[in-house]
Amino acid sequence: MKANPKTLAKGLATFVPGVNRFLGRRPGGSVSARYCYSVWLRHLLRISVCSPRPILDTIAELGPGDSLGLGLAAILSGAKTYFAFDVQPHARPPINLAVFDELVSLFGKRSAIPDAAEFPRILPNLSDHSFPDHLLSPSLLDLSLSAPRLEMIRSALMESRTSGPIRYKAPWFAASERIPGTVDFAFSQAVMEHVDHPEEAYEALHCWLAPGGLMAHSIDYASHGYAKDWYGHWTVADFTWRLLRGGRPYLINRFPHSAHIAAIRRAGFEIEIDERIEDSP
Ligand SMILES: C[S@@+](CC[C@H](N)C(=O)[O-])C[C@H]1O[C@@H](n2cnc3c(N)ncnc32)[C@H](O)[C@@H]1O
């Protein structure tokens, strides 16, 4: 099976220093507040199956992409501290602030969760898209959306990234950066298929998590356009794949689901939910 010739040509071009800046794909969806709201509330609903009243004081997201919107949605759901771990610092304050203001309005109105008609690629599908009042009560939202708190978060978005409620670490790999046992919930959306060494990432997240902490990842195993068929990336020869990767900071790692499950267990986690969803081709 051959790689998609267009993406192969781009991969080769990225070996030229500087070219990657112009040819690189933007990470995607998180510039949309409605996307972030929809994804975050799905994660929240999923973890509530394992833990009806999950502790969310400190949360960590892997690969937030173009904005910190998913973590900001978590902060508006009551989280006190949000760690964002990325391979590169894609997110910029003006986008974060715009996404934040729209999220405040969505939570303030207890808006319904955007559904598959608006975001067909966000999974899992829900049977009920109404706002989860049972998880985010009016009294909790009154506190988390209070004017002084919103101002504090807005200024944190403009300030230092090493302290305060929002801590953006990009890159995040150094073991010296870890604060073991501090995170209540770690999650990612459309990221674990891109991470070069998923086993190291799961091991690092296990170290960050507090005892009893939870972790959730939504992983897209499709070829992301790098091959013709959705499974085509697994059939490309390793050498061709290296050319296709070129000098890009990340691509897709070609780990199958079974390898993720094994790596998660090896890192020390117990798996409570393993939900496999077949998308239409
Ligand atoms: C497809 S984007 C998803 C962005 C965002 N989560 C969303 O839902 O729009 C993939 C993200 O994974 C990040 N990424 C790739 N390798 C990574 C790594 N080793 N550690 C952390 N983040 C990584 C990329 O920088 C990018 O932000």
**pLDDT tens profile 242-263:** 999 999 999 999 999 999 999 9
For residue 42 and ligand 1, the question of a CB distance below 6 A is answered with: no
pLDDT digits (tens, 9 = 90+) for 96-120: 999 999 999 999 999 999 999 999 9
Q: How far is the CA of 26 from the centre of ligand 1 (A)?
A: 10
For residue 124, whether the previous peptide bond is cis, meaning omega lies within 30 degrees of 0, is yes
User: How far from chain centre, in Å, is Cα 243?
Assistant: 27
Residue 175 DSSP code: G
Report how far residue 184's alpha carbon sits from residue 230's, in angstroms, rounded to the nearest whole number. Answer: 34
The residue-averaged pLDDT of 166-182 equals 94
Report how far residue 270's alpha carbon sits from residue 252's, in angstroms, rounded to the nearest whole number. Answer: 25
Report how far residue 51's alpha carbon sits from residue 190's, in angstroms, rounded to the nearest whole number. Answer: 23
Closest protein CA for atom 14 of ligand 1: 63
The residue-averaged pLDDT of 52-79 equals 96
More confident residue, 54 or 126: 126
Q: How far is the CA of 148 from the centre of ligand 1 (A)?
A: 31
Report how far residue 164's alpha carbon sits from residue 150's, in angstroms, rounded to the nearest whole number. Answer: 14
Report how far residue 195's alpha carbon sits from residue 189's, in angstroms, rounded to the nearest whole number. Answer: 12
Asked whether the beta carbons of 54 and 216 are under 8 A apart, the reply is no
